[in-house]
Chains A and B, each alone.
Chain A
Amino acid sequence: MKAFTYERASTVEAAAKAAASVQGARFIAGGTNLLDLMKLQIETPTHLIDVNHLGLDRIEKTANGGLKIGALVRNTDLAADKSVRQDYAVLSRALLAGASGQLRNKATTGGNLLQRTRCPYFYDTRMPCNKRKAGSGCGAMQGMSRSLAILGVSDACIAQHPSDMAVAMRLLDAQVDTMGADGAARAIPIADFHLLPGDTPHRESALKPGEIITSVTLPKPVGGAHVYRKVRDRASYAFALVSVAAVFGKDGGARFAFGGIGAKPWRVEAADDAAKSGAKAVAEAALAGARTTHHNDFKKTLVERTLASLYRQQEARA
């Protein structure tokens, strides 16, 4: 690990200001992704700003019936929160499908949104990677791309977004609340928070230098059956090949978001519109524009079958 200096921030304003003023500074919260990448020298911050003591660890109801989740709420606590279990069960389910108990005890809401891809070529520093080193090329396109993205990809990058939590947040139309280095607050719709790779895959979020996530706000609950189905190589503690977050309404309508297949958490309005036509129609709409490799073409079939399985489950419950 490269040497760095360390400070413990005591206010959000001070943390944002410090991050903008020190070249190469990074925030550290849970650290479960950042420290892993620092050990491999994929991340090489010169200065770490510990934000664990900013008091952003509360979950509160909002005036208009939504829920405000502090950026430092741990994944375990968010999944176990009574309001989340009752009104946003898809979020609990997504969180519990991710990582291990130990990691969920440490990982935070803000950090989970910012976790980096698990593309093996991003992790292997002997290989080219446009995300790790801009302009160095992509080892994945002609390599082992079985786990990688088929939607939102570009000629520069086919890395998948690894988060389960963010897929549920995308389904629920969450908003990411931030504070900038100038002390100004802003709200970013989650649809605009993660960037598609285009020709700048090293840029992953809409955050500006120094800008810090303070909370994630959910709108009022969406009624219906909340489900999160994750398909992976082993039954627990593995990243998704395909995941589907869904809320099935009583009227036969539904909304869907997808993980494991997109360069960012994936949601298409047209897929929701096709809900009453069944799994095949939803899959077709969701997969419009998909670009696959020989290794990951199976994901298209897997999406449709995962949806079909969810539909059957709903029918059985009705």
Chain B
Amino acid sequence: MSSNHLTRRGLLQGSAALAAASPVVAQAAAIPKRNGGSAMIPVELTVNGREVHLQLDPRTSLLDTLREHLHLTGTKKGCDHGQCGACTVIVEGRRINSCLTLAVMHDGERVTTIEGLGTPDKLHPMQKAFIVHDGYQCGYCTPGQICSAVAVLDEIKAGIPSHATAELDDVAFSDAELRERMSGNICRCAAYPNIIAAMRDAAGEKVA
């Protein structure tokens, strides 16, 4: 490494901070005010167990709130249209696409992101399983894959059926169930077989 310690993360953080700072000011001036009220809206969230208080333009997606306002950059922006699943987070116990929802719609709710599942020192079992089974290559989709995978195991445990469920009242763990339920998370590197292996491991099922 060169002596000036230039890192990709540092560069990204610097540019993210700039990007976050300037448009917010510009937008605030451009938004029409209704009934004399402020266009910015107070939003309270509990993110990874921490209460946060924000003033947000109502247009701010939950994804942008996490990344640009709370600097939780683990959650990724892929397509920003609900097609790729990179932005998957868990809100009030359910996985959703954070790009297709507004933060103001979640005032008072609990959000769990990849940063809240585990830390490098204390990994979530699903994070550990993804490492053991090499469930990624470039890693961009991985936070969304892991959040989705954690929720999928809960959904199967809760008996929620899927398109792959043969009898609607008999929901059981299988690779076919995992593949169907994970179809909203796209992986450009096609790490799919290893993701399924990681999920089986984390679920305590035998690895094929």
Pick the contact of A106: B80, B97, B107, B185 (CB < 8 A). Answer: B97
A293 in the interface (beta carbon within 8 A): no
B116 in the interface (beta carbon within 8 A): no
Q: Which of A116-136 contact B (CB under 8 A)?
A: none
A269 in the interface (beta carbon within 8 A): no
B58 touches A48 (CB 8 A): yes
B193 in the interface (beta carbon within 8 A): no
How would residues 236 to 268 of chain A score, 1 for a CB under 8 Å from any chain B CB and 0 otherwise? 110000000000000000000000000000000
A154 to B183, CA, bound (A): 35
B133 in the interface (beta carbon within 8 A): no
Q: Which of B145-184 contact A (CB under 8 A)?
A: 148, 151-152, 155, 159-163, 165, 168-169, 179-184
Which A residue's beta carbon lies closest to that of B106? Answer: A52
Binds A, one of B10-18, B31-39, B68-76: B31-39
Main secondary structure of the interface of B (DSSP, over half): loop
Given contacts A5-B39, A31-B100, contact A100 B168 (CB under 8 A): no
A112 to chain B, nearest CB (A): 14
A102 to B149, CA, bound (A): 11
B82 touches A102 (CB 8 A): yes
Given contacts A3-B32, A100-B85, contact A92 B161 (CB under 8 A): yes
B141 to chain A, nearest CB (A): 13
Which B residue's beta carbon lies closest to that of A36? Answer: B81
A50 touches B100 (CB 8 A): no
B1 in the interface (beta carbon within 8 A): no
Q: Which residues of B contact A31 (CB under 8 A)?
A: 100-102, 105
A39 in the interface (beta carbon within 8 A): yes
Pick the contact of A4: B30, B58, B81, B97 (CB < 8 A). Answer: B58
Binds A, one of B88-96, B120-128, B199-207: B88-96
A48 to B181, CA, bound (A): 31
A261 to B106, CA, bound (A): 37
A203 to B65, CA, bound (A): 35
B30 touches A103 (CB 8 A): no
A32 to B184, CA, bound (A): 13
A101 touches B59 (CB 8 A): no
Q: How many residues of B contact A (CB 8 A)?
A: 45
A4 touches B160 (CB 8 A): no
Q: Which residues of A contact B184 (CB under 8 A)?
A: 99-103, 237
Q: Which residues of A contact B34 (CB under 8 A)?
A: 5, 47
A144 in the interface (beta carbon within 8 A): no
A6 touches B41 (CB 8 A): yes
Which A residue's beta carbon lies closest to that of B160? Answer: A80
B108 to chain A, nearest CB (A): 10
A10 in the interface (beta carbon within 8 A): no
B62 to chain A, nearest CB (A): 10
A35 touches B61 (CB 8 A): yes
How would residues 22 to 38 of chain A score, 1 for a CB under 8 Å from any chain B CB and 0 otherwise? 00000010011001100
B87 to chain A, nearest CB (A): 9
Q: Which residues of A contact B57 (CB under 8 A)?
A: 3
Q: Which residues of B contact A103 (CB under 8 A)?
A: 82, 97, 100, 184
A233 to B75, CA, bound (A): 29
Pick the contact of B88: A80, A96, A97, A102 (CB < 8 A). Answer: A102
A163 in the interface (beta carbon within 8 A): no
A80 to B161, CA, bound (A): 6
Q: Which residues of A contact B107 (CB under 8 A)?
A: 8
A105 in the interface (beta carbon within 8 A): yes
Q: Which residues of A contact B80 (CB under 8 A)?
A: 39
**A-B pairs with beta carbons under 8 Å apart, 22 shown:** A1-B59, A3-B30, A3-B32, A3-B57, A5-B32, A8-B104, A32-B100, A35-B101, A35-B102, A50-B105, A76-B94, A80-B159, A85-B168, A89-B168, A96-B161, A101-B155, A102-B82, A102-B85, A102-B184, A103-B184, A105-B95, A106-B100
Query: Lowest 3 CB-CB distances: which A-B pairs, in order?
Result: A100-B184, A236-B183, A6-B58
Given contact pairs A31-B105, A32-B100, A36-B100, a sample of 20 additional A-B residue pairs in the complex whose CB atoms are under 8 Å apart: A3-B27, A3-B30, A6-B58, A28-B105, A32-B97, A35-B100, A35-B102, A39-B80, A76-B94, A80-B160, A80-B161, A96-B161, A96-B162, A101-B155, A101-B162, A101-B183, A102-B85, A102-B88, A106-B100, A235-B180
